[in-house]
Amino acid sequence: MTTYILRRLLLMIPTLFFVTTLVFLIPRLLPGDVVETIIGQYTPLTAGDRAKIKHDLGLDRPWYQQYGDFVLGAVRGDLGNSLQYQHPVTKDLKQRIPVSAELGIMALVIGVVIAVPVGVLAAIRQDSIIDYVTRSSAIALIAIPSFWLGTMVVVYPNVWWQWALPTQYHSFFSDPRQNLYMMIFPAAILGIGLSGAIMRLTRAEMLEVLRQDYVRTAWSKGLRERTVVLRHALRNTLIPVTTLIALQIPVVVGGTVVLEGIFSIPGMGAYLVTAANAKDYPVIQAVTLLIALVVVFTNLAVDVAYAYLDPRIRYR
Amino acid sequence: MSNAYSFWDRFTATRISRRRALQMAAVGSATAGAIAVVGCGGGGGEKTPAPGGSPAATAGAEKPFLGGTLRAALNDPQSKFDAQKFPTFTVQSANSFSYSRLLRSNSGFDDPNTPDIDLPAAEWYRPVPDLAAKYENPDATTFIFTLQDGAKWHNVDPLNGRAVTPADVVNAWEYYKSARPDKGTNLASIDSVTAVGANQVQIKLKQAFGPFLVVLSSSSDLWIYPPELTSNPDKLNSTMVGTGPFVLRSYTQGVGAKWDKNPDWWEKDDQGNRVPYVDKLDFPVISDKNQEFSQFTAGKLETMTVPGDLIGNLKSQMPQAHVLQSIANLLNFMFFPPAAYEANEKPFNDDRVRHAVSLAIDRTALIGLASGDNGGKKHNLINSGFLWYLDPESSDMGDAAQYFKRDIQAAKQLLSAAGYDSLDVDFHYTNNAYVTAVPYYNPVAEAIPPMLREAGINAKIVTHDYQSEWINPSGGIFYGGLKSGIAFSLETPVNHPWIQLNFEFTPGNQRNHSHINDSQMIDLVKQLGAETDFDKGRQLAYQIQKANGDKMYYVPLVGPYGFTASQQYTRQWAAPTSYGIGSESTPRFQIDTTKQQL
């Protein structure tokens, strides 16, 4: 297992190299000059002003030098200074990562808690009303975009009951009650969106597993349905489901970008949007690199989890 | 007092209907989507009027409600508090709570207990005392300002409540000159600023400048920052310690800002109550308009600007809410490439083609589109939300009035007379700047090309990034970089027409969008700048609007009604009239705390 993990870690290097290169280059291909963005709309700059600002920001050096600094800095945990705010990106990230992480984790938990039991139920009651309702609901949940659902959650409770969500963010540690009150709605919206796909896969996998010989054997031994499903079938069902959950991480990240705006949550999504509008390269690079790292490490974690979930799997 | 003020005094006895006043006022709502704070300004007709003291206001208000927390959505200044280096509306609005200017703009309010708005027409944008309690101008180029007695900086590090000195004002002026990206065009008439004695500041002008006091009172220009912050740019951008009516308690980028009232602020109402009336301000960042609307209707915000398409919902959900209808002091217009005038480049070098463009526009339809069918007015070059506006279809416009009515046949005839059966042009606008702040901008932009096509002007939409392609000072379309076709844009609100017209017609000015160099226009603008009599100034503004209509250098479009709402339990509220709402409107805002939900 250790060898496997080490090999996977080494394989991450080209992946991250590719990601960092893209992350570095793409913002620089956007039209316009970051200098204007930083200085503001009213500044008539001379060529000298522009050159000085670019020099101060290190933007006058060859791209490969800038890239090298970015990579070396990232390795050291230095993600550079925000061009807009003129302070280290890590300072903002320290505040914003926990916010988005909390939202994402809550969404995943909600999604899984809804999807797995319902998917299992749909499978063991195949072609019943429960199954039909579950399958239809799953498709609907996949089809409904989270930003639309978010807007509906903002608008309709207000129209019906003059009720509005909180908009003053409090960290979990300063005020857990207010924090959860604010986060639960966007997390539920994201989680419900995720649950559709997980639910469908859980149902399909469970149906397949239930047709396996060892499950038939379990039935023939006279075991109770609960024991057959939960102890014998579910564990094998969860292997591909776990993979799918990991693959939902980028979906969660994308969802937070939109929902953080709607629900006034000061997380990474809102930060990334602001940075993208301002062409704040270091922030865009840092946030996307971070997202890439989360995805890459999540995939590794999932693969490692296989071994735990399925004793037949052995890594070499 | 000043000659410059004579025009104001003549109007102080004239009260106008609420509708009329609102049509003339209000920068706010849509313009800035500025912090939706509203309140009162008022003002008397004396030579040095006490700000915010309109008699009707006091009578209507009786005993003011004291205390409470005013909650409204914040347009996040994004950790930039230096309004000299970053003179954007978000920064200026945030500054206005914590900092002062020497003078500030008068601000209107609406007492719901009275049928008419309690502010005479000419009071809008009237300069009233701020850090300067009074001033004299012994001659046309000398102004001596006396600072408020006992004025102190906020009792916060690093100022810790020290007294304000004239040297602070001189320092702020020096900082303005050095930091201001546009080199201080609006106050270029100032020759020197010097401290005089213990509490006076003398400003000498290079030559007489009629709108000087109005420009000085503008929230776009001279903010009084302390030397302790101007000497430390990081500090100046990360905090606000001023002399304004509110003391910044906390600010978190992306989350919101909170202020406490400044107990040492100099201003009192007619009954001797210290203002601000409210104890605290609590402004969360809410970037989603539906979310803001929900917060307001749930009673969690005291005020908000309401988009036209939501006003019906608001009235049905909250019939008791105060709703103020106004046309924003904001011009939307089209302009043509500089090469049309500099190089006589076809086709827009021909005023018949420019008139054809104007004739092709269905302004009535655009008003309906922009206002959510709530109505509005056709703009002239001075927008229809501003005091100096001339109705483009009035007889004062002469023959030019015809170009503001849609007439496809006439447009085609003009094109034909100019030698064109049809034209293929690009239609440029920026599609990523005003989605929230001016929500009607993009829909109007998209509606114009089909109108032009009906007249044979085959306009193809070309969209632009705001920062890099529109307002990029080095070649952005807004700053004279239009190579061909037609551009559709907005003009920053101003509190005196000279500011805008000087931009638009002075050769070499960054905001002379089409590099117009017309001696008639230049002369008229110069005359307006030198004029100190209101009536004569207004006539000049009318002449400039008419002359523009004759030549159609700029094609003015439409002013839709916008809406500002406040809760039933609030008093002395108004549409914000400038980005200086923190000291202009907010101090007199009142909340009946017994009915407020917290």
This complex has an ipTM of 0.76
> Is 60 exceeded by the pLDDT of residue A81?
yes
* Chain A residues in contact with B86 (beta carbon < 8 A): 40
The reply to whether A152 and A70 lie within a common domain is no
- Specify whether A185 is located in the same domain as A46: no
**By mean pLDDT, which of A83-97, B52-66, B381-395 is the weakest?**
B52-66
Select the residue of A41, A50, A162 nearest B298 (Cβ to Cβ): A162
Interface of B with A in 290-349 (CB under 8 A): 290-291, 293-295, 297-300, 313, 317
A237 shares a domain with A119: yes
Query: Domains in chain A: how many in total?
Result: 2
pLDDT (tens digit per residue) in B315-362: 898 998 988 887 888 899 999 999 999 999 999 999 999 999 999 999
Written as one letter, the residue type at B121 is: A
Are residue A112 and residue A239 in the same domain, yes or no?
yes
Measured at the CA of B229, the angle between CA B228 and CA B234, to 5 degrees, comes to 135
List of chain A residues whose C-beta atoms are within 8 Å of the C-beta of residue B286: 167, 264
Phi-psi region of B508 (alpha: psi -120 to 50; beta: other; left: phi over 0): left
Tens of pLDDT, residue by residue over B50-85, are: 444 443 344 444 788 999 999 999 877 777 899 998
Q: Could you list the residue range(s) of the whole structural domain that residue A31 is in? A: 17-76
Mean pLDDT of the residues in chain A: 85
Confidence at B1, pLDDT banded by 50, 70, 90: very low
Model confidence at B160: pLDDT above 70: yes
Cβ separation B473–A33 shorter than 8 A: no
Distance in angstroms (rounded) separating the CA atoms of residues B347 and B368? 30
CA distance B224 to B230: 10
Sign of CA dihedral A296, A297, A300, A301: negative
Place of tokens 């107990």: B263
Measure the CA–CA gap between B531 and B509, rounded to whole angstroms.
Answer: 21
Residue A164 lies in a domain: yes
Q: Is residue A4 part of a domain?
A: no
B293–A168 C-beta distance less than 8 A: no
Terminal Cα-to-Cα distance of chain B (whole angstroms)? 46
Share of chain B above pLDDT 70, in %: 86
What pLDDT digit, counting tens, does each position of B546-570 carry? 999 999 999 999 999 888 889 999 9
Tokens representing residue B494 in the block: 């101003």
> What pLDDT score does B288 carry?
84
pLDDT digits (tens, 9 = 90+) for A140-187: 988 888 889 999 998 888 888 888 888 888 889 989 999 999 999 999
* Domain closes at, from A76, A101, A125: A76
Q: Return d(Cα A116, Cα A122) in angstroms, integer.
A: 10
CA distance B545 to chain A (A): 26
> In terms of domains, do A64 and A106 share one?
no
Amino acid (one-letter) located at B412 = K
Nearest to B188 by CA among B451, B412, B508, B468: B508
Chosen from B258, B283, B287, B318 to mutate, greatest number of chain A CBs within 10 A: B287
Do the domain assignments include residue A11? Answer: no
Which residue spans within B310-414 are E strands per DSSP?
A: 322-327, 331-335, 376-378
**Spatial contact of B128 and B103, defined as CB atoms under 8 Å apart:** yes
Distance from CA of B108 to the nearest CA of A (A): 29
Q: Do B468 and A85 touch (CB under 8 A)?
A: no
- Which chain A residue has the Cα nearest residue B233? A86
User: A115 with A70, same domain?
Assistant: no
At residue A315, the pLDDT reads: 64
Chain A to chain B, count of Cβ pairs less than 8 Å apart?
123
pLDDT at position A236 is 83
* Range of lowest pLDDT (A110-124, A208-222, B202-216, B314-328): B314-328
Looking at A76, A99, A114, the residue that finishes a domain is A76
Residue A276: closest C-alpha in chain B: B467
Q: Residues B167-178: what's their mean pLDDT?
A: 96
Residue window 257-286, chain B: list those with CB within 8 Å of chain A.
282, 284-286
Which residue has better confidence, B126 or B110? B126
Closest by Cβ to B255, choosing from A154, A266, A278: A266
Q: What is the DSSP letter of B513?
A: T
Q: Which residue is closest to A169 within chain B, CA to CA? A: B255
Counting Cα atoms < 13 Å in the Cβ hemisphere of A284 gives 21
* Residue A303 confidence (pLDDT): 79
Residue B86, SS3 per DSSP: coil
Cα angle: B441, vertex B446, B449; to 5 degrees: 125
**Quick one: pLDDT at residue B116?**
43
User: What mean pLDDT comes out for the span A202-220?
Assistant: 92
Rounded to an integer, what distance in angstroms lies between the CA atom of residue B177 and that of residue B191?
11
Determine whether the interchain pair B182/A44 forms a contact, defined as Cβ–Cβ distance below 8 Å. yes
DSSP at B178? H
CATH number at residue A250: 1.10.3720.10
CA atoms B318, B323, B329, B333: torsion sign: positive
Least confident stretch, A68-82, B103-117, B548-562: B103-117
Q: Which of A167, A270, A277 sits opposite B291 (nearest CB)?
A: A167
Tokens of residue B161, six digits: 């409540």
Q: How far is B32 from chain A (nearest CA, A)?
A: 15
Which amino acid is residue A297, in one-letter code?
F
For chain B, what's the residue count? 598
* DSSP states along B101-124: -SEEE----B-TTSSS-SS-GGGT
Query: If 0-12 CB within 10 Å is exposed, 13-18 middle and 19+ buried, where does residue A264 land?
Result: buried
List CB contacts of B323: < 8 A, sequence separation 6 or more.
B306, B311, B314, B315, B563, B564, B565
Lowest mean per-residue pLDDT among B71-85, B209-223, B362-376, B510-524: B71-85
Mark whether A123 and A223 lie in a shared domain: yes
Are B296 and B565 in contact by the 8 Å Cβ rule? The answer is: yes
Residue A6: partners with Cβ closer than 8 Å, 6 or more residues away = none
Find the chain A residues whose C-beta atoms sit closer than 8 A to any C-beta of B: 30-33, 36-37, 39-45, 50, 84-86, 92, 151, 154-155, 157-159, 162-165, 167-169, 261-264, 266, 270-271, 274, 277-279
The answer on A115 and A49 residing in a single domain is no
Contacts of B473 in chain A (CB under 8 A): 36, 41-45
- Percentage of residues in chain B with pLDDT exceeding 90? 58
Residue holding tokens 């060892």?
A214
CB-based contact (8 Å) between B253 and chain A? yes
Residue of A nearest to B470 (CA): A41
Tell me the C-alpha distance between B406 and B393, whole Å. 12
Contacts of A92 in chain B (CB under 8 A): 253
Contacts of B197 (CB under 8 A, 6+ apart): B166
CA distance A282 to A301: 28
Q: Select from B287, B288, B473 the Cβ nearest to the Cβ of A45.
A: B473
Cβ contact, residue pair B291, A162, below 8 Å = no
Same domain, A51 and A122: no
- Distance from C-alpha of B56 to C-alpha of B483, rounded to nearest angstrom: 53
Q: What is the dihedral of CA A282, A283, A286, A291, to 10 degrees?
A: -150
How far, CA to CA in Å, does A212 sit from each of A215, A218, A223, A237, A311? 5, 10, 15, 11, 17
B86 closest CB neighbour out of A40, A151, A261: A40
CA distances from B233 to B89, B181, B291 (A): 20, 15, 35
A96: in domain? yes
Best of B430, B431, B474, B509 to disrupt the A interface (most A CBs within 10 Å) is B474
Tell me, what DSSP letter sits at residue B94?
Answer: H
State the Cα–Cα distance between residues B157 and B322, nearest whole angstrom.
39
Q: What domains sit in chain B, N to C, each tagged with a CATH number? A: 3-321+567-591 (3.40.190.10), 331-560 (3.10.105.10)
CA distances from B370 to B22, B313, B377, B422, B490 (A): 18, 17, 11, 28, 14
List all residues 6 or more positions away from B539 whose beta carbon is below 8 Å from its beta carbon.
none
Tokens 């916008």 locate to B562
Write the pLDDT tens digit of every residue in B574-587: 666 678 889 988 99
The pLDDT-based confidence of A314 (bands split at 50, 70, 90) is low
Task: Please tell me which of the candidates A43, A154, A279 has its beta carbon nearest to residue B181.
Answer: A43
Choose the weakest-confidence range: A114-128, B7-21, B369-383.
Answer: B7-21
Residues A139 and A234 in one domain: yes
Confirm whether A224 is domain-assigned: yes
Residue A289 is assigned to a structural domain of this protein: yes
Q: What percent of chain A has pLDDT over 90?
A: 29
How far, CA to CA in Å, does A308 sit from each of A138, A238, B41? 28, 11, 70
Q: Indicate whether A136 belongs to any domain.
A: yes
Residue A63 confidence (pLDDT) = 83
A29 & A113 share domain: no
Comparing B418 with B306, the larger pLDDT belongs to B418
pLDDT recorded at residue A31: 64
Q: What average pLDDT does range B236-254 have in this prediction?
A: 93
pLDDT average, residue stretch B295-316: 89
What are the pLDDT digits (tens) for A239-272?
A: 888 888 888 888 888 888 889 988 989 998 888 8
Same domain flag for A158 and A49: no
Domain membership flag for residue A81: no
Give the model's pLDDT for residue B266.
Answer: 94
